[in-house]
Structure 1
Amino acid sequence: MEPKLLIILFLTTFLSSHVSSSTPNAQQNKYSTFVKTSCSSATYPAACVKALLPYAATVKSNPIRLVTVALSTTIKSANATLSTITRLSKTKQITKWEAAVLKDCVGDIKDSMDEIKSSIKEISGIPKSADKHFAISNAQTWTSAAITDENSCLDGFSDRKTMNPVIKQKIRNSIVNLARVSSNALYLINHLPV
């Protein structure tokens, strides 16, 4: 083989391998940028990016996938909140009134989770839906109802000031985190292109 041809072959192989190895990074950056841009005007932008950026490769640049992932992270957050409330409800230092409020709160979070699951079902059906606006409207309704239930949990604690402040703060932190994730999911649903 001629030296010139050998050099050309080497350079072609080197450049093509270099381009193909940089493509995944370029794609990943594109996907990360999509998530960051989508979250930039969300109700809680920092929480949105923190929750959704790890899923950029899954989401790619697909707004429906982004909403589905946002709702799925809401379910994860609701599960964590439910675990916290359930654990606190079993402590021996709580009063009967606190136990009743925590029991109501567990019910509120379970209702919220059911509503988020209904919202996921609506969003997942959009690609095949004959009426995409109706599916989005249903998802908005379910997600709004979930946020209302999350806030109902907090409302139960505001009736009395005698609640154990440590328990109250732990539940409040957990519910506030959940409500932020839910609000961001609702924002993304509201901004789905149809």
Structure 2
Amino acid sequence: MEQSKIFTALFLVLLLSSSPLASSTTTVTQQNTYNTFIKRSCSSATYPNVCLKTLLPYATTVKSNPYKLVNAALSAALKSSNATLSVIYQLYRTEKITKWDAAIVKDCIGDIKDSMSEIKDTLKVISSISGSNDKSFVISNAQTWTSAAITDENSCLDGFSDRKVINAVIKKKIRNSIVSLARVSSNALYLINHLSV
């Protein structure tokens, strides 16, 4: 009789551990661990709320890997660059602006394209880190490229700050888009700066 109780208890334990409920509990626990890693990593970022908003969707991919987190942050910066470029192109094509204003907007487009190129270079550099014998050198290159991208983003803003360009609504839309991009890029640089070798 006692043996059958033990057998029944063991059978129930095995049944529960292999059930979808046990599996979903493990998945939820892992997801919480991944979310916590990103929250902790973003807590001291330059723009913590922006960091969380852009990187939490990558939690399952990133897991608890700081290099994957940097990769996700750079991917988010590239996505933001594309969105910014799209906003500027749309305003450039649809709004009536003076030749002088058009020249400033064209310069801005060039700056954002340069920034995108530098972010792509950073992604390439970071992807090579696992096979590198000199991780410090790779991280230094990533810092240089990302800093250059942020400089180009700010150069675009500088073109609008010196004088009244276009109308206030267009200027505000372009400025908001670039500020948003610069914040995402700054967070990526912060995460690169905190990679351990």
Report the TM range for the smaller structure's normalisation: over 0.9
Runs of 4 or more, structure 1, over 2 Å off, are 1-8, 15-21
Aligned residue among 155, 159, 170 for 1:156:
159
Which residue matches 1:10? 12
Q: What residue ranges of structure 2 are gaps of 5+ in the alignment?
A: none
Q: Per the alignment, in what secondary structure is the counterpart of residue 90 of structure 1?
A: helix
Give the partner amino acid of 2:116.
Answer: M
Q: After alignment, is 124-133 or 155-164 more displaced? A: 155-164
Query: How far apart in 1 are the matches of 2:49 and 2:165?
Result: 34
Query: How far apart in 2 are the matches of 1:24 and 1:92?
Result: 50
After TM superposition, the structure 1 = structure 2 runs for residues 117-132 of structure 1, keeping only pairs within 5 Å, are 117-132=120-135
Q: After alignment, is 161-170 or 103-112 more displaced? A: 161-170
Q: Per the alignment, in what secondary structure is the counterpart of residue 113 of structure 2?
A: helix
Aligned residue among 12, 29, 33 for 1:30:
33
Which residue matches 2:83? 80
Query: How far apart in 1 are the matches of 2:13 and 2:38?
Result: 36
CA contact (8 A) 1:116 1:146 kept: yes
Q: After alignment, is 150-159 or 17-26 more displaced? A: 17-26
After TM superposition, the structure 1 = structure 2 runs for residues 24-103 of structure 1, keeping only pairs within 5 Å, are 24-103=27-106
Q: Per the alignment, in what secondary structure is the counterpart of residue 74 of structure 1?
A: helix
Give the partner amino acid of 2:137.
Answer: F
Measured after TM superposition, the shift of residue 130 of structure 1 is 1.1
Query: How far apart in 2 are the matches of 1:4 and 1:30?
Result: 35
Overall identity of the aligned pairs, in %:
66
Count the aligned residue pairs: 194
Query: How far apart in 2 are the matches of 1:11 and 1:188?
Result: 43
Q: What residue ranges of structure 1 are gaps of 5+ in the alignment?
A: none
**If the length of structure 1 is used for normalisation, what is the TM-score?**
0.95
Give the partner amino acid of 2:124.
Answer: K
Give the partner amino acid of 2:45.
Answer: A
Q: Does 1:183 align with 2:190?
A: no
